[in-house]
Chains A and B, each alone.
Chain A
Amino acid sequence: MSKLEIIDLHVSVETEDGPKEILKGVTLTINSGETHAIMGPNGSGKSTLAYSIAGHPRYAVTGGSVTLDGEDVLAMSVDERARAGLFLAMQYPVEVPGVSVSNFLRTAKTAIDGEAPKLRTWVKEVNAALEDLDLDTTFAQRSVNEGFSGGEKKRHEIAQLELLAPKMAILDETDSGLDIDALKTVSDGVNRFAEGGEKGVLLITHYTRILRYIKPDFVHVFVDGKIAEEGGPELADQLEAEGYERFLKAAAV
């Protein structure tokens, strides 16, 4: 049983005109076994929340707390957060030329587990994970994200999610730019992960269509750096029918 607890989180970024507050007090608790969807319009701060939890240096936390099972996440370095059990599937995964997927996955797995995986079972696991995501085995020899199509990048992120098996997965717009087949493939991967037991999922998305394949237990509407409304899956249906206008107007008042 794990718990990711975000309390009154304030985050700023440096801009040409000085620091600008993006997150204005976010409070959210995710327990293992739960899938939370954060939905919101562009620029509402959804991605900032994801990258702040992962520890990206661009984002300065100015207030609040983030804890994983009571441990202070904000005091940890980026890699310590990952080893503590957090995983961020990125919207724009970064190319690392000359580093093969296979080397990258093995290095990451070794870091997370604190020991090298057993070679024979590991190769099988990797091949199975790639196959599940419709990535052929030659994929492992390619350089990380280099020359990958948009869909391959996202499927590679989910393959990592399954292989590294964190406690909490944050998926930042994993659905964006995917055709319907790739969306199903990726969603199947997330569902396999979530059903693996004792796992929490925070799914950040602009669109409702991924929620047809990944059923959230909770939906949070994110507007202007804060959670504007919370509810169950029915809230997503309402957003699909009405869009974000109601919330944007409320925020503008």
Chain B
Amino acid sequence: MTVTAESVSNALELDKVESHLHPEGSFDLADHAVPTGREEVWRFTPLKRLHGIHADAPLDGDGFTVDVVAADGVRAETVGADHELRGRSGLIPRDRVSARAWAAARNVFLVDVPAELETGATNVTFTGTGGESAVAGHVVVRVGAHAKATVVLTFVGSATLAENVEIILGDGAHLTLVTLQDWDDDAVHHATHHALVGRDADLKHVAVSFGGDVVRHDTSTEYAGPGGSVNMLGLYFADAGQHIEHRLFVDHTAPKTKSHVVYKGALQGDGAHTVWIGNVLIRKVAEGIETYEENRNLVLTDGARADSVPNLEIETGEIAGAGHASATGRFDDEQLFYLRSRGISEAEARRLVVHGFFTDLIRQIELPELEEKLAATVEAELAKNVLKGLI
């Protein structure tokens, strides 16, 4: 859907900046009651499967190993919880899990890219070792002014992780940040990302979620100055019983800023559930901005459910463009017929359609080694269900 003059004028009548969709944050745990599941922000989430991290379960575990391959000139290491960069993104916990993780984190994993350094990919792999206790994590990625870098955070193994991730881009900085959830089946991962995008800086934020029992990511962005640009890409594949939730909030806090959000997901198997919430707020000050958000879901089997809710709040009429789109559908019979009428088997036709569904998105990530990995992972996911019995 493209925003029409009418829907813009309706949105202009909103008199409140903060809605229930993006509540004011607080570091004080007392401000975050234990959710019951009836709250707007929790209503899609299976609280019972969060192992109590949303309530009072201890976050004192340390069941992780960290492997780091840092690019030249990039500092990537564990530092103290009192590090000066902590909190610099402006992250203020918006929910109880985030507030608890903030309070419980004993250290910070810092990736620091000095100003004006142009460098390759820094890969950080967190491997959950399946400890009894839930873990509080805190990551800070800071890219100095006019630097250019790629950071890939990969999560594998088994864990219950409550995590805050701060992303800070200096003026004119370029960052591709990938968070890749390739967990074992029993993992729980609750993450709160907050990005502060400097003047004329460019952030590509990529969230890929395949594994885990419950993955719930809440990602927000604000701009420190005009001209900043954010490109948020998401790819997810939910299997039977899996819950994958992405909540996005782009807060256009400065003029001439851009945001472009595309998330695509596939679902298969009984009880596979995905949630995508795309909130965009265009503040009065944010004149001349451009925003577009899109979510597409491909439901591959019966028994799976995709929730998709785009929201756009506009406080100024002086914008360059704003739109959103959401679509959830099944295999298109006409596509399958067309491919099969050329001799292509049903299994191969389904495989082509699903790869095609993700292809454009994967290409936009522009990291060749990750592209191959994602194509292979999509293939492995398909083999589990969609192609079963067909090949």
Could you tell me the distance in whole angstroms from the C-beta of A141 to the nearest C-beta in chain B? 12
A-B contact pairs, 21 of them (CB 8 A): A78-B340, A82-B342, A83-B343, A90-B341, A93-B338, A94-B334, A95-B335, A96-B338, A96-B339, A96-B352, A97-B357, A98-B360, A99-B352, A99-B355, A107-B352, A108-B339, A108-B343, A111-B345, A112-B343, A143-B356, A160-B342
B358 near A79 (CB under 8 angstroms)? no
**Contact A79-B353, Cβ < 8 Å, known A56-B337, A94-B334:** no
**Contact A54-B341, Cβ < 8 Å, known A94-B334, A111-B348:** yes
B343 near A79 (CB under 8 angstroms)? yes
The digit string for A98-124, where 1 denotes a CB below 8 A from any CB of B, is: 110001100110011000000000000
Cα distance, A160 to B359, chains bound together (Å): 23
**Which A residues fall within an 8 A CB radius of B?**
54-57, 77-79, 81-83, 87-88, 90, 93-99, 103-104, 107-108, 111-112, 143, 160, 164
B39 contacts the other chain (Cβ, under 8 Å)?
Answer: no
B355 near A82 (CB under 8 angstroms)? no
B341 near A88 (CB under 8 angstroms)? yes
A57 near B342 (CB under 8 angstroms)? no
- Tally chain B residues at the interface, Cβ within 8 Å: 24
Cα distance, A112 to B344, chains bound together (Å): 8
Could you tell me the distance in whole angstroms from the C-beta of A94 to the nearest C-beta in chain B? 4
B15 contacts the other chain (Cβ, under 8 Å)?
Answer: no
B337 near A94 (CB under 8 angstroms)? yes
Could you tell me the distance in whole angstroms from the C-beta of A101 to the nearest C-beta in chain B? 12
Q: How many A-B residue pairs have CB under 8 A?
A: 79
B348 near A107 (CB under 8 angstroms)? yes
Task: Name the residue among B332, B339, B342 with the largest chain A CB count within 10 angstroms.
Answer: B342
Cα distance, A22 to B8, chains bound together (Å): 48
B342 near A96 (CB under 8 angstroms)? no
8 smallest beta-carbon distances between A and B, as pairs: A98-B356, A98-B359, A82-B343, A108-B342, A94-B338, A111-B343, A99-B356, A78-B340
Cα distance, A62 to B343, chains bound together (Å): 25
**Which B residues fall within an 8 A CB radius of A?**
332-335, 337-346, 348-349, 352-353, 355-360
A104 near B337 (CB under 8 angstroms)? no
Could you tell me the distance in whole angstroms from the C-beta of A114 to the nearest C-beta in chain B? 10
Contacts of A78 in B (CB 8 A): 337, 340-341
Q: Which of B333, B355, B356 contacts A57 (CB 8 A)?
A: B333
Contacts of A87 in B (CB 8 A): 341-342
Could you tell me the distance in whole angstroms from the C-beta of B226 to the nearest C-beta in chain A? 34
Contacts of B333 in A (CB 8 A): 57
A90 near B343 (CB under 8 angstroms)? no
| Beyond A79-B342, A108-B343, 18 extra complex contacts between A and B, CB < 8 Å | A54-B341, A57-B337, A78-B340, A79-B344, A79-B346, A79-B349, A90-B341, A94-B334, A96-B352, A98-B357, A98-B358, A98-B360, A103-B352, A107-B344, A107-B348, A107-B352, A111-B345, A112-B342
Contacts of B343 in A (CB 8 A): 79, 82-83, 108, 111-112, 164
A82 near B341 (CB under 8 angstroms)? yes
Contacts of B339 in A (CB 8 A): 96, 104, 108
Could you tell me the distance in whole angstroms from the C-beta of A112 to the nearest C-beta in chain B? 4
B334 near A164 (CB under 8 angstroms)? no
Q: Which of B334, B345, B346, B360 contacts A97 (CB 8 A)?
A: B360
Closest to A108 in B: B342
Could you tell me the distance in whole angstroms from the C-beta of A27 to the nearest C-beta in chain B? 24
Could you tell me the distance in whole angstroms from the C-beta of B340 to the nearest C-beta in chain A? 4
B357 near A164 (CB under 8 angstroms)? no
A82 near B338 (CB under 8 angstroms)? no
